[in-house]
Structure 1
């Protein structure tokens, strides 16, 4: 199998730009994932983010997680558990309105650092969307505009730790799913692995590389590209030792953004719209209950909704 795509963004500024853009295109079309090096966020700053995230987990979350494990009797499970993830997690919202000031137990330095990290990731996400536009032959800014809605995009970070698990064969760190939104930027632990994606029917490890940002395509980009780019099933395997840190930042459409295949792509391929037209918030309501199932029935349900009049104010008719 071809090796996992790693993109050196420095090469976008020189003679290797065309070859690097081709690598990004191939990754989007055939993997749904790729890893960025030299992405513009300094290694020293990423080290600070990692240190503060791990300190926060040890101080504020580790004991709570251990108590949960004991209370549910998870140390001694005998059979596979399919409705639980072995992760300790909290969520930071950045856009349209930040909640960082309200999240309890965060020290001031950590709040400030995560605010700055989000600002840098937002910039990187928008730069990436423009690179994807270029590869797709869409006008610059097209994807950002589609994501915008009336209040701008939705952007947030899921801060996760995957502690050592006594029964990794019976409990997943995070069950297999595709991501509902637009583009995901992941800063993952470079010492403890666990993230895998499904490619050609096989689970493939996403290699942990120091100071890299892993990118993956969400369901909304699959719809907008009319299936040219695909969101891909992925999961986290729990490990018996080491605590894996994961900061997954989701750059998604605004809640009222209307999502549909880009007409330029549909016309060019002489291919009918393969995907429905819908409001992002409606898709998210559906996704909430079906996250760990395949995406195709979700698209079908949105298609049925699109073709059914009088379903209320957010239905597309």
Structure 2
């Protein structure tokens, strides 16, 4: 990818804006009327619980219970693109501690966080924007982005050294979520009628599969009806495991032209299908557009874990899912080529994957 070595405009730290006491947000954060979270052209916005799936049922001695659970995952991937998982094997204490340590990081003095300021080359570090278009409308969010896999990209020295337990906790959290992600990709592979390790191998196997974390901080916003914490998009990668802030909801998904607010379940992860799974499944599973709203009363922290193909791995529809009646919808493309779009343009709905459909 050919990316700039530095951001094209001065970086605005959203947390600093929020804490300055402003009553109006800068124009750079004001979304067009059609993109605002509470505008009059939207159909109604309501709260919903996406399917909740108990993964412990996959260990049941009852074959019917196991099959029913697999079917629930399949239905969620086909009809929702999102689901929540409970009894997933990740320690609840580790989840809470990791979320808390990131909350502490974002409360550190500005100078400490700035030591880890990122660039658009890799996005790794402390950031406040996605995309490099000059004059683009910005999202009301700061974040920290880091790599877990492949090992060649993992560099804990680039991770926060404060709070002192941050690196150790974040490393342990990443190990556990890699295990969970591999378990979920097995389930998705089986449900597609493929070998259970098909997605894992397609992503590059043990050596090339990539995994990364984006810790999101959504500060209080004096005009939450004018902006978004994260603009509408589908995730460009494989699958995403989101650990939300359970105190207040912020994630919204687009369904039947409505924006639905997802109610987070304590100790559950919100899982969503990314664009690469849509490609690999030949659109049997579909990534779904989503966004994040902000509020004026409470700041929020969420942790998004992305499990993706290796950057140089070529992703295409699985041969087993391509027939005369269902030809391949997408041409092969490496993940680096694919994700360069969002890294340059920023979040743009589902325009990227829709533009890649092969002519029928």
Give me the TM-score of the superposition, normalised by structure 1.
0.84
Identify which of 93, 99, 112 aligns with 2:155.
Answer: 99
Does structure 1 conserve the Cα–Cα contact (< 8 Å) formed by 2:328 and 2:358? Answer: no
Does structure 2 conserve the Cα–Cα contact (< 8 Å) formed by 1:155 and 1:249? Answer: yes
Give, in whole Å, the separation in 2 of the partners of 1:89 and 1:263: 38
The answer to whether residue 284 in structure 2 is matched with residue 235 in structure 1 is no
- Where does structure 1 lack aligned partners over 5 or more consecutive residues? 66-80, 305-317
Partner of 1:126: 182
Q: How does 1:259-274 map to 2 (within 5 A)?
A: 259-267=315-323, 270-274=325-329
Give, in whole Å, the separation in 2 of the partners of 1:175 and 1:62: 28
Partner of 1:293: 348
Comparing 247-256 and 3-12, the one that deviates more: 3-12
- Indicate how the Cα distance of structure 1 residues 244 and 292 shifts in structure 2: closer, same or farther if over 3 A, else same: same
Q: CA RMSD in A?
A: 2.4
- Indicate how the Cα distance of structure 1 residues 287 and 161 shifts in structure 2: closer, same or farther if over 3 A, else same: closer
- Indicate how the Cα distance of structure 1 residues 104 and 3 shifts in structure 2: closer, same or farther if over 3 A, else same: closer
1:102 deviates by 2.2
What is the aligned residue count? 288
Q: Secondary structure at the match of 2:212?
A: strand
Partner of 2:52: 6
Give, in whole Å, the separation in 2 of the partners of 1:101 and 1:252: 22
1:50 deviates by 2.1
Q: Secondary structure at the match of 1:108?
A: coil
The answer to whether residue 134 in structure 2 is matched with residue 83 in structure 1 is no
Runs ≥4 residues deviating over 4 A: 60-65, 296-299, 301-304
1:297 deviates by 4.7
Identify which of 55, 61, 75 aligns with 2:104.
Answer: 55
Give, in whole Å, the separation in 1 of the partners of 2:245 and 2:217: 9
- Indicate how the Cα distance of structure 1 residues 296 and 176 shifts in structure 2: closer, same or farther if over 3 A, else same: closer
Give, in whole Å, the separation in 2 of the partners of 1:297 and 1:94: 26
1:145 deviates by 0.4
Partner of 1:158: 214
- Where does structure 2 lack aligned partners over 5 or more consecutive residues? 1-45, 115-134
Identify which of 307, 314, 318 aligns with 1:258.
Answer: 314
Partner of 2:20: none
The answer to whether residue 339 in structure 2 is matched with residue 284 in structure 1 is yes
